[in-house]
Structure 1
Amino acid sequence: MTSEDTGDGDEADGQRPTDGTETGGAAAVRLDGPETLLADERARPRATGVPDGTTVVVDLTATDHTGQTWRASRRYRPVDGAVDLAAHDPVDADETDPSPAGLAWALAPVDGDPVRFPTAPHGDHERRYRAVVRDEAGREVATATTTTTVVHERGVTHRHVGGGEDADDGDEPSERSGRSDGGAGTSGPSETPVEPPTGHCYSPTGDGPHPAVVLCHGSGGVPLRRHAALLASRGYVAFALQYLGVDDLPETPVEVPLSVPRRAVRWLRAHPATTGSVGLYGVSMGGQLAALLASEPDVSVDAVVVDSGSLHVFPAGGDTAPWTRDGEPVATTAVPDAPPDRFASSTGGASDRRTAFHAMVAATDRERRRAATISAEQIRTPVLWLSGTDDATWPATAAGEALLARCDARDVTFPVDHRVYHDAGHAFGPPGLPTTWRPAGPDDRVARGGTPGAHAAGRQTAWAATRTWFDDALR
């Protein structure tokens, strides 16, 4: 059934005392926070000893790997002498602020327009919190500081498999650059009867075997290394597949053989480092791929998570199919016989394409539409569909509703859930990075949609739902 997800992610363990001291003499204010934090844990910076009748301004700064400084600031009123960023709403919040969600989502460059937070390759960074306590006259009463290092790996080894290019995977991948490290790490799946495709394998260092997940990136072609590192930190062998721009594969999703991700599933299922339970995760075009692959009769997976995917196979350019099956293009919807700008609109200065995809479906006759629709009833495994109602890339929410309708009509026996996040946009993935660039970054050709606050809140709960889905199905 369709539901709004209101669950929270994990909370960080182990608060560390302030590394600053109070000023002003009268107030003994402390600011505590964890020394290190996995990116998908909820930080709980907490100021204590705050006098009644005061306000607390909390400033957060961070520096990305390029040296650029990011900053966010909110004002709070103490409750019982304390301010908890994970529990209290700021007094200067507006309707777009998630409630409550700390400050990391609100970080923006000190200089320049909001952009995606760069990662190399995961986005580890240091957060510096400073609390300034002011009395009713605005005078500074006390200050305190604490620092938290955000990481994406804990007890994990990494190994690059195969050849090909590698890149900073950013917030939502859009471009590919740089080259592979050629095989960092020595642990994890390596030699099995099935030759693996190119990608990055992250493995827990603890005793195995472990369940496994194959992660499929979107049309930008950059492997989901942040996702994989975090899943491995939670006890999964996570393989960030790279199916574009390597191994003589196309640079864009045009006639990519389904045999490539199929091989990744078979490789992990057969490997002694895994339990044989394999999940499939895909975002955007990778979400379409994950749903399509799971419906293939010769592919066996134990759980599927589709993040902002599509239930129709849309053409990749003209009438060209994005995927091939046994050398033949899969069926796609039609392209409307209309001028290119007929269905064009703009969101945040970038192209809003949701109307164009609706037009493709409408322009397709019934027989071709049926052939271009992924056979939900053939998936035969638990499916979690994630969507935002303000997805400006394509109509992922409508696709999720269609999935539910098809499954209800056919009395499928496997669990199916569609989590809808209101005013969120395209592509969730792990939390922990700013969303202030939404609904579109300054260099985006295609808008992603979503308000910054709503998407941050959706991302937190969508990732928690993803982990729970895999835990329930694979462990």
Structure 2
Amino acid sequence: MIEEKKSMPSCQLAVMPQRALVDEPLSMRLAGLQPRQTVTVRTRTQDGSLKTWEAFATFIADEQGTVDVSTQKPVAGTYDTIDPLGLLWSMSCTDAKRPIFFTKTKPTSLLITLTAEVEGTIVASTQIERLFAAPGMRIVPIQERGLIGTLFLPAASGPHSAVIILNGSDGGMREHAAALLASHGYAALALAYFGAEELPAGLLNIPLEYFEKALVWLQAQDDVDEENIAVIGLSRGGELALLLGSTFPAIKAVVAGAPSGIIQSGIKNNTDFSDPAWTRQGQALPYVSYKNTFLSTLDFMWHWLRHKPFTMVTNFRKALTSKKAMVEAATIAVERIQGPILLISGGDDQLWPSTQFSQLIMERLAKYNHPYEYEHLHYEKAGHFVCFPYALPSLPPMIMLSPLAGMYLGFGGTPEANASAAIDSWPKMLTFLASALKQSS
């Protein structure tokens, strides 16, 4: 049991900056300890569902009685390498009996409490605030013309290059991600397309005209540079980003994380994969469908009864060879995209083979002599949730989910690998956007 006492006046815990964007680096130092003294630093916060998340790391002070958390390797803890953000991304949920995701979709800031303990006694503490929205940001809710979304605008007047941020198969919208991007100077639109208010409940028969309407609306905004619009998505959102870029010339850049360059089926009740996801002019776009078989059901039950993570990557990989005609018809014409393309994938993706999908996209772009730049960032040990807008720097990564007792859905990677990929890919994505889109002063 930890004994909570007043902070010892001789020990100081300094964290800089104490209030900053969530992607900014941290400096964390302890001073006033005894030479070679062992100290444990703990972090604690709550996610968007008010679940408590914690991490810790134990260090040995130097001969001057100081610890630099940013440059020292912990001797024990929830991470084991030199990492200035380790005490943030390595947090795990203390309220959950099963693996869950760190819930965050709103742009409210995170308050993180840090304590330093020596022999079970708290000797120093402080609190920091990690922001998604920079001060002065303008927020415009959208509920018109059948559109559901939120536009985040920088404090400075535009016009600004714009980015549409697309969710994956969970639906809704990721406002915190849009706010963070807007904090870097973009007009960022978090756009829902199912699973919100009057929109379809599931990823089924979503008309591309909906996104065309969103593009027209976005181009009409005074603070938006209508000539410089990008789309970003991960997973099914990455597939959609490629599809929209190949369909609408107004889109001038695409970032697709863990993408499929092949149109996949819709999702009905998380069990039926036989209907289309996307339509155009009232017609279903060609897609690869899947049917549950006795063997696939047996495999699922085997994993459930043995509490083993169930993964789907093998089924998607097999479809590339067993459903060649279907795959060919459903392949997205990525060569039609009117601008640069950035693909990001994890080599241990256990949902679907996003690295293989990305390689096929790169091969197609080369085959058709795509006139714009295209790049594939590959993180060998990372899983499905490899980058923005699902994996943000310093947030706990998504590895596994347990929706029911004994049922585990594996998405691949490790906390360390996924966190590292999120931290590394984020500035590279910002550099890509700055190059691909004409930045306004």
Please name the residue that 1:449 is paired with.
412
Residue from 366, 370, 393 that aligns with 1:431 = 393
- Letter matched to residue 440 of structure 1: L
Give the % identical residues: 28
Please name the residue that 1:178 is paired with.
none
Q: Any idea what SS the aligned residue of 1:466 has?
A: helix
Please name the residue that 2:71 is paired with.
87
Tell whether the 8 Å contact from 2:72 to 2:82 is kept in structure 1 after alignment: no
Deviation at 1:349, TM superposition (A): 4.3
Please give the alpha-carbon distance, in whole angstroms, between the structure 2 residues aligned to 1:65 and 1:253.
24
Unaligned runs of at least 5 residues, structure 1: 1-19, 164-194
Please name the residue that 1:156 is paired with.
137
Summarize the Cα distance change of 1:210–1:414 in structure 2 as closer, same or farther, 3 Å threshold: same
Aligned CA-pair RMSD: 2.9
Deviation at 1:71, TM superposition (A): 1.9
Deviation at 1:446, TM superposition (A): 4.0
Tell whether the 8 Å contact from 2:345 to 2:358 is kept in structure 1 after alignment: yes
Please give the alpha-carbon distance, in whole angstroms, between the structure 1 residues aligned to 2:114 and 2:106.
24
* Deviation per residue, 1:45-77 (Å, 9 max, x gap): 222455542333111122345554332111123
Q: Any idea what SS the aligned residue of 2:238 has?
A: helix
Please give the alpha-carbon distance, in whole angstroms, between the structure 2 residues aligned to 1:448 and 1:77.
35
Matched, 1:295 2:246: yes
Tell whether the 8 Å contact from 1:262 to 1:299 is kept in structure 2 after alignment: no
Please give the alpha-carbon distance, in whole angstroms, between the structure 2 residues aligned to 1:246 and 1:130.
39
Which structure shows the higher helix fraction?
A: 2
Matched, 1:224 2:174: yes
* Deviation per residue, 1:317-338 (Å, 9 max, x gap): 4432210111111111253695
Tell whether the 8 Å contact from 2:139 to 2:153 is kept in structure 1 after alignment: yes
Summarize the Cα distance change of 1:320–1:30 in structure 2 as closer, same or farther, 3 Å threshold: closer
Q: Any idea what SS the aligned residue of 1:121 has?
A: coil
Matched, 1:398 2:353: no
Moved more, 409-418 or 253-262: 409-418
Q: Any idea what SS the aligned residue of 1:132 has?
A: strand
Summarize the Cα distance change of 1:95–1:245 in structure 2 as closer, same or farther, 3 Å threshold: closer
List aligned pairs for 1:48-447, cutoff 5 A: 48-64=31-47, 67-78=50-61, 81=64, 82-92=66-76, 99=83, 101-113=85-97, 114-119=99-104, 121-122=106-107, 124-132=109-117, 143-154=123-134, 155-162=136-143, 197-245=147-195, 249-276=199-226, 277-296=228-247, 298-316=248-266, 317-335=272-290, 338-339=293-294, 341=296, 344=299, 346=303, 349-366=308-325, 368-427=326-385, 428-429=387-388, 430-435=392-397, 438-443=399-404, 446-447=409-410
* Deviation per residue, 1:281-322 (Å, 9 max, x gap): 0121111100011111x4321211111111111122443221
Tell whether the 8 Å contact from 1:96 to 1:453 is kept in structure 2 after alignment: no
Residue from 20, 27, 33 that aligns with 1:37 = 20
Please give the alpha-carbon distance, in whole angstroms, between the structure 1 residues aligned to 2:197 and 2:131.
31
Please give the alpha-carbon distance, in whole angstroms, between the structure 2 residues aligned to 1:446 and 1:71.
23
Please give the alpha-carbon distance, in whole angstroms, between the structure 2 residues aligned to 1:218 and 1:120.
13
Please give the alpha-carbon distance, in whole angstroms, between the structure 2 residues aligned to 1:112 and 1:196.
37
Please name the residue that 2:269 is paired with.
none
Summarize the Cα distance change of 1:266–1:385 in structure 2 as closer, same or farther, 3 Å threshold: same
Summarize the Cα distance change of 1:66–1:405 in structure 2 as closer, same or farther, 3 Å threshold: closer
* Deviation per residue, 1:250-270 (Å, 9 max, x gap): 211111111112222232233
Deviation at 1:208, TM superposition (A): 1.6
Tell whether the 8 Å contact from 1:336 to 1:360 is kept in structure 2 after alignment: no
- Letter matched to residue 141 of structure 2: H
Tell whether the 8 Å contact from 1:116 to 1:441 is kept in structure 2 after alignment: no
Q: Any idea what SS the aligned residue of 2:27 has?
A: coil
Q: How many correspondences in the alignment?
A: 414
Please give the alpha-carbon distance, in whole angstroms, between the structure 2 residues aligned to 1:22 and 1:96.
27
Please give the alpha-carbon distance, in whole angstroms, between the structure 1 residues aligned to 2:323 and 2:367.
22
Q: Any idea what SS the aligned residue of 1:130 has?
A: strand
Please give the alpha-carbon distance, in whole angstroms, between the structure 1 residues aligned to 2:49 and 2:251.
39
Tell whether the 8 Å contact from 2:45 to 2:54 is kept in structure 1 after alignment: yes
Unaligned runs of at least 5 residues, structure 2: 1-5, 267-271
Deviation at 1:350, TM superposition (A): 4.6
- Letter matched to residue 281 of structure 1: I
Tell whether the 8 Å contact from 2:249 to 2:338 is kept in structure 1 after alignment: no
Summarize the Cα distance change of 1:98–1:289 in structure 2 as closer, same or farther, 3 Å threshold: farther
Deviation at 1:103, TM superposition (A): 0.7
